[in-house]
Amino acid sequence: MSDNEILDLNLICGFFSLLEQQGPGSPAETIKALSFIKGLPADAKIADIGCGTGRQTQTLAENITGDIIAVDVFPGMIGGLNDRVKRLGLENRITGLVASMDNLPFSENEFDLIWSEGAIYNIGFEKGIREWKKYLKPGGFLVVSEATWFRGNRPEAIEKYWIDAGYPEIDTVSVKISQLEQAGYVPVASYNLPESCWLDSYYKPITEFSGQFLTQNNNSDQAKWLIDHLTEEIAYYEKYKEYYGYTFFIGQKVG
């Protein structure tokens, strides 16, 4: 990786770690996904992978009992998570861990629940669901949200945009469900996130923070590049949102 790429990553992480959430989603949708999970023990062990600054980690801690290990590869994200945990007095429930999702320091059959919102694409959906399965107890649950096509046919412009944006695995909901089945999960539920999770919860704070971010970075080329890139992503979403979005998948490891 070149110095420029490292700088880009630091800049991107610096931008996003100052936001409440780093992907589309909302507390209401996290709670809805939780409603499909039955029979979690009171002392459940939960992993939240690619937790960012912990928007959904907080919702999990507030709505189920048990202990949560929240993992992110970027120390800045875990810094933001730790600030949140301290602010809420949840130190005895949530532990932040800097680690990569493709090399997790977990044991086999360790968790009752593995959660991951808007992050599994970093390892790849199929690879992630297969690799993480060993960390789940038999009968344990996997909950992930992932970018999907909502329709069988899409305009070429939006297909090209998402694949070039680093989402080569974006696919239809039915393909992802079949991948879950093939990987040894019972598909329990799936549902698409509403537009508000993108426009209000995710993109609005990005737009509001952009001006301040550019000023803080003296309008550097890299900062401008990041804001231009995000502005373009938002414009694509507004134009093509009927064709794609995020879907929650809830699966149960075959016992």
Site for ligand SAH, rule CB under 6 A: 21-23, 25, 50-52, 55-56, 71-74, 77, 100-102, 117-119, 122
Nearest approach, Cβ of residue 28 and ligand SAH (Å)? 14
Nearest approach, Cβ of residue 156 and ligand SAH (Å)? 27
Q: DSSP string of 42-68?
A: TT-EEEEET-TT-HHHHHHHHHS-SEE
- Tokens 């959904």 correspond to 56
Nearest approach, Cβ of residue 84 and ligand SAH (Å)? 11
Q: Which residue of this chain has its Cβ atom nearest to ligand SAH in the complex?
A: 52
Q: Which residues lie closer than 8 Å to 6 by C-beta, 6 or more apart?
A: none
Q: Is the Cβ of residue 116 or residue 179 nearer to ligand SAH in the bound state?
A: 116
Q: Is the Cβ of residue 22 or residue 190 nearer to ligand SAH in the bound state?
A: 22
For residue 120, give the nearest of 249, 254, 252, 240 by alpha carbon.
249
Q: Which two tokens stand for residue 225?
A: 């590049």
Q: Which residues lie closer than 8 Å to 61 by C-beta, 6 or more apart?
A: 68, 88, 90, 93, 94
Nearest approach, Cβ of residue 99 and ligand SAH (Å)? 7
Q: Is the Cβ of residue 73 or residue 165 nearer to ligand SAH in the bound state?
A: 73
Question: Could you tell me if 112 and 66 are in contact, meaning their C-beta atoms sit under 8 angstroms apart?
Answer: yes
Nearest approach, Cβ of residue 255 and ligand SAH (Å)? 28
Classified as helix, coil or strand, 241 is coil
Nearest approach, Cβ of residue 21 and ligand SAH (Å)? 4
Q: Which residues of 126-136 are buried (b: 16+ CB within 10 A; e: fewer)?
A: bebbbbbbebb
Q: Which two tokens stand for residue 133?
A: 């399965």
What is the Cα Rg of the chain in Å? 18
Q: Is the Cβ of residue 83 or residue 186 nearer to ligand SAH in the bound state?
A: 83
Nearest approach, Cβ of residue 152 and ligand SAH (Å)? 27
Would you say how long the chain is, in residues?
A: 255
Q: Is the Cβ of residue 174 or residue 207 nearer to ligand SAH in the bound state?
A: 207
Q: Is the Cβ of residue 128 or residue 140 nearer to ligand SAH in the bound state?
A: 128
Q: Is the Cβ of residue 44 or residue 206 nearer to ligand SAH in the bound state?
A: 206
